[in-house]
Amino acid sequence: MKRVYFFGDGRADGRAGMAEILGGKGANLAEMTRLGVPVPPGFTISTPVCAAYATGRGRLPPDVKRQALAALRRVERSMGARFGDPEAPLLVSVRSGARASMPGMLDTVLNLGLNDRSVRGLAARAGARFAYDSYRRFIQMYGDIVLGVPLERFESRLEQAKEVRGAALDTDLDAEILQTLVGEYLELVREHTGRRLPQDPLRQLWGAVGAVFRSWKNPRAATYRRLHGIPESWGTAVNVQAMVFGNMGDDCATGVAFTRDPSTGERVFFGEYLPNAQGEDVVAGLRTPQPLDRLAEEMPAAYRELVRIQARLERHYRDMQDIEFTIQQGRLWLLQTRTGKRTVQAAVRIAVDLARERRITRDEAVCRVDPASLEQLLHPALDPHAPRQVVARGLPASPGAAVGSVVFSADEAEARARTGEKVLLVRMETSPEDIHGMHAAQGILTARGGMTSHAAVVARGMGKCCVTGCGALEIDYAARCMRIGEHVVRDGDPLTVDGSSGEVILGRVPTVTPELGGAFTELMRWADRARRLRVRTNADTPQDAKVARQFGAEGIGLCRTEHMFFEPRRILAVREMILAADRAEREGALRKLLPIQRGDFAGIFRAMEGLPVTIRLLDPPLHEFLPHDGDEIRELARALGRDAAEVRAKVDAIREFNPMLGHRGCRLGISFPEIYRMQTRAIVEAACEVAESGVRVEPEIMIPLVSHVRELEVLRGHVEDEVREVLRGRRVRVRPRIGSMIEVPRAALTAGEIARFADFFSFGTNDLTQMGYALSRDDAGKFLGTYVEQGILEADPFVSIDEAGIGELVRIGVEQGRATRPELQVGICGEHGGDPRSVRFCARLGLDYVSCSPFRVPVARLAAAQAALLGEGPA
């Protein structure tokens, strides 16, 4: 079986479509080789070997070694150098390369093939400084990654050496010091492992290949996989490739570039490089790199070739590429190309530009943007008019604004965020160990590192605001504070960062919702043309309704009337209604509420101008509106002119053991029809009033928590009676549609009967999940995280619909409902309506619409379009 794939000299066994077995890096190295791009020769050990290595208890299968040796011979021929040759040794890099990019999570060993003898040969040919520096780097990486010698041990030796010589940078160390350092490093390895560093290059190679395979299972890789939904079974490939050197002198360099700006999406060749350095120096962010324009001045020929190749790669891959290159003695080599990570802004702009440039179709552009990420685009930026005290400026690595309390460690960020605190993670630089903290933080600020440092790349991937390379920060981890010029910022102090300008600002700066650019509007227009599923919004106020319309909502799918009850002006009348001793008293209180509700509804109808508006009649258990502590109860009694003990007794009587399964939803309507009748009157009077002013209205009245057809039958009767009464004698007549929420499992299973009395269904998948899964909406968060972490559940079922169980209830409900009433309008208004995966599921079931919070409306529009384009419409 073929396990090893060679690439070099314009020929390659693999190609771009083979990422599954070659990993992304290996597949693209093969593809670039085929394209005639200068790529150092090498070979890829395929991903299935990763699992074979694990089951073989850490041994490489013999056929893999055999095939690798044969490929190594071809690399030697291509480079004109032999592995282990004491005079002109071939050196190789050994790198991971999984199917999905996992930046910095897996291990890499460079300069492999050096030993005590060949380092002298290398010194004779390429200079002693270079040779001993390469050997030093190799011992450090091999020691750390393959032999488990703690990295700090090497680093502290290096720091000592620099201190003794008064050297600021590694490059200030001369050959003699480096040679001494090599001796110390070798001794360190012996001390720590009890053995010499392997001198046989082949032993080194098998050791490094094994270590890279093992790194697939390290904890940080496991965390990254969990966060990004990458299955462990994929495994990583290993790429062994001839080394080229960016650190052989001043005619050498190494860098990272993007074919378009990954922050804004602008069509400019964008990147940075370090002269006389190895690739990991750029990524580690220890030296701050230079912009590519400088390369055009310093090495014009190599730069011109790089520009030509990047354009070619982008054309070939039809997407923005992230490339790594090295220039060795003036000669350009490409080490990697991959689809570049980008901010949402950039993703939208690049997709639209590529379609306009006719590189991709509009439909492809619509499918290129991750719907969930759009939400960030709509979220606030810093208010440009707010005063701000800018105390430092770093690199604008990932846009957006972040405001939070400063924390100096990832663990602290995670712990504090868990308590609901908004935190800002401040680090010298970040490493893969910090991702959990980066995830928990509002934003990330680092003292070191460039636009392609770990912090920058990871934050952009997360869509999180990030400022890097802010040299003005003097961080003292031990004292948990930092100095920025004359200011001292301590752990817990508020700070603001602007990832679009790189500004670091003292205190909290207010934020505003940004203007959406032309590319966004264009992309959404293409998406709207492609989709069949309508998108409505869940909005309770005219203000929310207006925001949602700006985001493209095509109606309101859920207006929760009770949210209007909590305003201080109203809550007293609501409480009076609840505490009424009899019907007459209740009707008195309801009369006070009627004009208030009518005003609310009129505002919403106006804001939605002719679009459908579904208003749900009162839903929550009544005790939610009542005070519970003694003082509040006494105050309420005073306000109502009642006896406090009497009020307390009533409050106690209303309290339930299981309020979620208690006296709520339509059950209140059955007990107190006058409440639903008042609400119906308010809706219809408001609708008539607005219609009379010339604005078209389309009201829908929705009954919540129906579980039995008779409930709906009875309540529909009340609603229709009230509608008739309101319309009697009116010139303008607006007749609302009357429908049912389907949020109780029994309702889904008996939907055929319920549909007899419903003009529409709206699936309340929050309650349907709660009751269908027997998971409390309010408490399950405590343990669902563990379920997802352990892989028992793929996702939180309150976030993404459980297709097999709750989704099946929805499917049955739709099927039965439509069997009874083919024209039945069907939508969903639970939180799932804004989750892209659930939206695709709704498209497959043939729902008419999804309804979600205003900020997620564009998310749902795009997800619905992708569902249609990817053939996920109803069968």
Residues found near ligand PEP in the complex (CB under 6 A): 558, 560, 619, 743, 764-767, 829-830
Pick what 434 binds: Mg ion, ligand PEP, none; C-beta below 5 to 8 Å, kind-dependent. Answer: none
Q: Is 743 in the site for Mg ion (CB under 5 A)?
A: yes
Strand partners, 254: 274, 326
CB 421 within 8 A of CB 432: no
DSSP state of 198: P
**Residue placing its CB nearer to ligand PEP in the complex, 272 or 743:** 743
**Residue placing its CB nearer to ligand PEP in the complex, 691 or 780:** 780
Q: Any residues with CB less than 8 A from the CB of 178 and at least 6 apart, and which? A: 128, 129, 132, 133, 136
**Residue placing its CB nearer to ligand PEP in the complex, 755 or 829:** 829
**Residues forming the active site:** 454, 829
3-state secondary structure of 301: helix
What is the Cα–Cα distance from 138 to 133, expressed in whole angstroms?
A: 9
Q: What is the full DSSP assignment across 607-671?
A: HHTTSEEEEEPP-S-GGGGS--SHHHHHHHHHHHT--HHHHHHHHHHH--SSGGGSS-THHHHHH
Binding mask 817-846 for Mg ion (x = CB under 5 A): ------------------------------
CB of 669 to Mg ion, least distance (A): 14
CB of 538 to ligand PEP, least distance (A): 7
Helix (H) or strand (E) holding 398: strand 395-398
**Residue placing its CB nearer to ligand PEP in the complex, 52 or 806:** 806
What is the Cα–Cα distance from 807 to 814, expressed in whole angstroms?
A: 11
Q: Is 764 in the site for Mg ion (CB under 5 A)?
A: yes
Pick what 858 binds: Mg ion, ligand PEP, none; C-beta below 5 to 8 Å, kind-dependent. Answer: none
What is the Cα–Cα distance from 663 to 380, expressed in whole angstroms?
A: 40
Binding mask 767-796 for Mg ion (x = CB under 5 A): x-----------------------------
CB 93 within 8 A of CB 240: yes
Burial class of residue 517 in the structure, from the number of CB atoms within 10 Å of its CB (0-12 exposed, 13-18 middle, 19+ buried): middle
CB of 770 to ligand PEP, least distance (A): 7
CB of 718 to ligand PEP, least distance (A): 21
**Residue placing its CB nearer to Mg ion in the complex, 345 or 707:** 707
Pick what 829 binds: ligand PEP, Mg ion, none; C-beta below 5 to 8 Å, kind-dependent. Answer: ligand PEP
Size of the site for Mg ion (CB under 5 A): 3
**Residue placing its CB nearer to ligand PEP in the complex, 379 or 560:** 560
Helix (H) or strand (E) holding 356: helix 344-356
**Residue placing its CB nearer to Mg ion in the complex, 685 or 767:** 767
Stretch in the footprint of Mg ion (CB under 5 A) among 83-91, 565-573, 758-766, 804-812: 758-766
Q: Is 557 in the site for Mg ion (CB under 5 A)?
A: no
Work out the end-to-end distance of the chain between its first and last CA atoms, rounded to an integer number of angstroms: 41
CB of 376 to ligand PEP, least distance (A): 24
Question: How many other C-beta atoms lie within 10 A of the C-beta of residue 729?
Answer: 6
Pick what 560 binds: ligand PEP, Mg ion, none; C-beta below 5 to 8 Å, kind-dependent. Answer: ligand PEP
* Token reading at 340: 């570049």
Q: Is 698 in the site for Mg ion (CB under 5 A)?
A: no
CB of 847 to ligand PEP, least distance (A): 14
Q: Is 540 in the site for Mg ion (CB under 5 A)?
A: no
Closest residue by beta carbon to ligand PEP: 764
CB 43 within 8 A of CB 240: yes
Helix (H) or strand (E) holding 482: strand 481-484
Closest residue by beta carbon to Mg ion: 767
Q: What is the full DSSP assignment across 492-539?
A: T-EEEEETTT-EEEES---EEPPPP-HHHHHHHHHHHHH--SEEEEE-
CB of 505 to Mg ion, least distance (A): 42
Q: What is the full DSSP assignment across 458-478?
A: HHHHHT-EEEE--TTEEEETT
Pick what 501 binds: ligand PEP, Mg ion, none; C-beta below 5 to 8 Å, kind-dependent. Answer: none
The residues of the shown chain that bind Mg ion, judged by CB under 5 A, are: 743, 764, 767
